[in-house]
Structure 1
Amino acid sequence: MRKKLRLSDDNVQAFLMILPFFIGFIMFSYVPIVYILRYAFTNYSGFGDCDFTGLANFVRAFKRDPDFWQSLLNTVILSAGKLAVEIPLALLLAVLLNKKLKGMAFFRVTLFLPAIISAVIIGLIFSLLFASHNGMVNGILANIGLIEKPINWFNTKWKAMLILGIASVWQNYGINMIFFLMALQSIPQELYDCASIDGATGLTRFFKITLPMIAPIFQSILLMAIVGSLKVCDLVISCTNGQPGGTTEVVMTYIYKSFFGKSGRNIEVGYASAMALITAIFLGLVTFVYLKATKKLKEYEG
């Protein structure tokens, strides 16, 4: 009886320890979902009456709002471009930092530092670095003779998107580098020793041992990077705010401005909720397709 009582007390203690997290998870994850589902089918501006409109918000999004789909396309383009640089860069740095050399601890901390800086701060930093008249980048290019007059980095869509991509890579490569480093350190050293005895070169060891051994973790890292990139918001707001002319608007900033009535827009809680629901379904489909594709790839390799 005493043993059963002790187990019961342990269970109560464990439940009490996770209760605050569980309450927070419900309040900040499921309650907003219910809120979105409630207002997605209504015409609600945040004040006054909440009129049920059925599928009108979804019809508007699919048929009468090309800007929403353009913002979604911008999100996909920005995510694909920056992930093509960010993931290989993070893996390369992790491989280099995994070597048993002096001073590597210093470089690990230094390279990881951008990951702990607020995205808003990073957006402001890059907006100042690439400012037209007094930006550091223009000053450096002018001093070494590459340009004669300052470049307006934010006057066209693709230059502004390039700056957003660079800022996003600088913000996120550090955390992915740490994940890859943890995966690399879990590989038994005996595998590399045996490969070296057989005369395998560095590239051979990398493609035949390193990549296969970290494949499951690589799959998870890439999935988190894809989803995180598709949800980018605060970096864009603080760096370009959708400029020039809204051409760098991403889907989350577009929804945010409609939800809170920013940048001269009317507050449209109902319509913003419908767009958020559409975006959530899109993210779910991307995740599903990615998991299916990587599963088939692993089966093929096996």
Structure 2
Amino acid sequence: MSKWTRFRENTTFLIPSVILTLTLGIYPLVWVLRYMFYDYAGYGQELFVGLDNFRRLLRDTLFWDSVKNTFIFAGGKLLLTIPLSLLLAVLLNGKLRGRNLLRAIYFMPTVISTSVISVVFYIIFNSYNGMVNQLLLKYHIISAPIDWLGPKHAMLTVVLVAVWGAVGNYMLLFLAGLQSIPQDLYESASIDGANSYQRFAYITVPMLAPVMQMIIMLAIIASLKGYESIMLLTEGGPVGKTEVMYLYLYKQLFPVSTGSPVQQQFGYGSAVGFATALIVGAITALYYALSKRMNKVF
């Protein structure tokens, strides 16, 4: 086979991927970069406004509130998800009866539709006849129903729902990392008199460091970009308590209800999307720099 024939064959196989990349990746990016400088609501005339969308963005208190809420949501999700996922992985990596069934059960939420999960948890956390309030009232833990989706507890509720949906995925990744650790290390440590805590602290954690760095990176990105369950549970409410960046961006392009105070605006939405991407990219880059120091520690 000649080099030219091999080149044509390789090029033919690459054409579908190139077309998909151009149509689904490059073109939308160029579209967003263009409309950042326009006042365009999806219909009518496109009006060039220069940097007005960015000036509006700097004064937009709703957007900056959504940034604050995003960090609260992401921080709460990470603080609960990572330790819980690691704990479950360690437990299910041991000689436990029915561990394969338990692994499947914990992983199941990952493959269930976000819409289904949100509807189920909306019913569970219902203020009047939800399962959570009924159980708490039955055992006299509370004296009156709690408004789990109200201003005081809405953020906690959406964080718990997000943790429930994410734990199984990261548990599986931790489990893969645990199974790659040579058992000889644990046997040698046991012979030397190391207890369970010492084996975990001085063998498991250091050997899991590369996997843990990847998992934390994925978890940070997913937490900062997550909005689907929040949109279905609270629509960012009440009074903006659960409004996150990507939900606010979504509302600029596709208002979630007819009563939404946010009007459809592709030009301003493109500027919001660009700023959101910069924030997520900056956080990711910061973690990447910190993860290099983690390599020196471990």
Alignment TM-score, normalising by the size of structure 2 = 0.93
Going from structure 1 to structure 2, the CA distance change for 1:191 and 1:19 (only over 3 Å counts) comes to farther
Q: Which residue number corresponds to residue 89 of structure 1?
A: 84
Amino acid paired to 2:295: K
Unaligned runs of 5+ residues in structure 2 are none
* Equivalent-residue separation in structure 1 for 2:261 and 2:76 (angstroms): 30
CA offsets, 1:193-216, max 9 Å, x none? 111111111111111111111111
Out of 218, 221, 226, which is 2:215 matched to? 221
* Equivalent-residue separation in structure 1 for 2:189 and 2:44 (angstroms): 71
Q: Which residue number corresponds to residue 271 of structure 1?
A: 268
CA offsets, 1:255-284, max 9 Å, x none? 111112342432111101101100101111
Q: Which residue number corresponds to residue 292 of structure 1?
A: 289
Q: Are 2:195 and 1:201 aligned?
A: yes
CA offsets, 1:32-63, max 9 Å, x none? 2111111111111111111111111111111x
Q: Are 2:108 and 1:113 aligned?
A: yes
CA offset at residue 24 of structure 1? 2.9
Indicate the larger mover: 259-268 or 196-205: 259-268
Unaligned runs of 5+ residues in structure 1 are none
Q: Secondary structure at the match of 1:192?
A: helix
Out of 40, 48, 66, which is 2:36 matched to? 40
Query: Sequence identity, in percent?
Result: 41
* Equivalent-residue separation in structure 2 for 1:16 and 1:98 (angstroms): 45
* Equivalent-residue separation in structure 2 for 1:15 and 1:95 (angstroms): 46
Amino acid paired to 2:249: I
CA offset at residue 21 of structure 1? 4.4
Q: Are 2:141 and 1:149 aligned?
A: no
Q: Which residue number corresponds to residue 182 of structure 1?
A: 176
* Equivalent-residue separation in structure 1 for 2:187 and 2:26 (angstroms): 50
Q: Which residue number corresponds to residue 135 of structure 1?
A: 130
* Equivalent-residue separation in structure 2 for 1:199 and 1:82 (angstroms): 37
CA offset at residue 140 of structure 1? 1.1
Indicate the larger mover: 274-283 or 264-273: 264-273
Q: Secondary structure at the match of 2:43?
A: coil
* Equivalent-residue separation in structure 2 for 1:13 and 1:110 (angstroms): 45
* Equivalent-residue separation in structure 2 for 1:13 and 1:121 (angstroms): 44
Q: Are 2:77 and 1:73 aligned?
A: no
Out of 10, 16, 19, which is 1:23 matched to? 19
Amino acid paired to 2:119: L
Indicate the larger mover: 79-88 or 116-125: 116-125
Q: Are 2:161 and 1:167 aligned?
A: yes
* Equivalent-residue separation in structure 2 for 1:139 and 1:285 (angstroms): 44
Q: Which residue number corresponds to residue 258 of structure 1?
A: 252
* Equivalent-residue separation in structure 2 for 1:239 and 1:20 (angstroms): 38
Q: Which residue number corresponds to residue 50 of structure 1?
A: 46
* Equivalent-residue separation in structure 1 for 2:117 and 2:52 (angstroms): 38
Q: Secondary structure at the match of 1:155?
A: coil
Q: Secondary structure at the match of 2:153?
A: helix
For the 8 Å contact 1:128–1:135, the answer to whether it is kept is: yes
Going from structure 1 to structure 2, the CA distance change for 1:131 and 1:178 (only over 3 Å counts) comes to same
- Any runs of at least 4 consecutive aligned residues in structure 1 with deviations exceeding 6 A, and if so which? none
For the 8 Å contact 1:260–1:269, the answer to whether it is kept is: no
For the 8 Å contact 1:114–1:172, the answer to whether it is kept is: yes
Q: CA RMSD in A?
A: 1.9
CA offset at residue 117 of structure 1? 1.1
* Equivalent-residue separation in structure 2 for 1:17 and 1:98 (angstroms): 41
* Equivalent-residue separation in structure 2 for 1:60 and 1:90 (angstroms): 41
